[in-house]
Amino acid sequence: MTGTSDTAPGMERLDLTQLGAMLRERRGKLSLRQAAAEAGVSFSTFTRIEAGAQPDLTSFTLLCAWLGVSPGQFFMSTALREVAPIDEAIAHLASDPRLEPDAASKIAEMLRSMYDVLAKAPVQRQVVACHLRAASMLRPGVPERLNSLLGEMHSKLAARVSAGEL
């Protein structure tokens, strides 16, 4: 398994840094008390949220209205954890109500050992290899431009290979 987060698929997190920055910018020269009164939240709530604290739903919606922005703009998708196919299959077995936990565990153990024996590591194939022997004879700047173009071609070809198109 690879990945960077253990959050549930589709979860999003609130970007508190952006919210705090927008509050400070919108507040401008207003005092914290004046801005809080305009937004319809308490002074302490405004202060905490501007400093990066997690707001309650009511305060969050009031502050978004005061900022004149959609609440959705502050939500960012979290990195989803990639689940290996064998782990997904084992999770299905574990949730099968027809199997006792011990039986599901035994099947999972057998599947994992078979998978470990039979699964092969993905093969990394080199897509493009090029050497410009005459680079010293080309006009100034041409080798760099060629390198850039060939690099782009390599990236696009590698992406197509990864996608199974080539």
Neighbours of 59 (CB within 10 A): 20
Into how many domains does the chain fold? Answer: 3
Q: Decide if 3 is inside a domain.
A: no
**Structure confidence at residue 32 (pLDDT):** 92
Q: What is the pTM of this model?
A: 0.43
130: its two tokens? 């090029």
**Chain segment 93-103, per-residue pLDDT in tens:** 777 778 887 88
**Chain segment 58-99, per-residue pLDDT in tens:** 999 999 999 998 888 888 766 545 667 888 787 777 777 788
pLDDT of 129 > 60? The answer is no
Q: Decide if 6 is inside a domain.
A: no
DSSP codes, 32-65: HHHHHHHHTS-HHHHHHHHTTPPPPHHHHHHHHH
pLDDT of 142 > 60? The answer is yes
Q: Decide if 57 is inside a domain.
A: yes
Nearest residue to 112 (alpha-carbon basis) of 92, 96, 89: 89
- Do 72 and 56 belong together in one domain? yes
* Domain range enclosing 23: 12-77
Q: Decide if 5 is inside a domain.
A: no
Q: Decide if 2 is inside a domain.
A: no
pLDDT of 14 > 70? The answer is yes
**Structure confidence at residue 147 (pLDDT):** 76
Q: Decide if 151 is inside a domain.
A: yes
- Do 112 and 131 belong together in one domain? no
**Chain segment 112-127, per-residue pLDDT in tens:** 888 888 888 776 665 5
82 forms bridges with which residues in the sheet?
2
- Do 143 and 90 belong together in one domain? no
Provide the CATH number for the domain around residue 27. 1.10.260.40
- Distance CA(18)–CA(53), nearest Å, equals 12
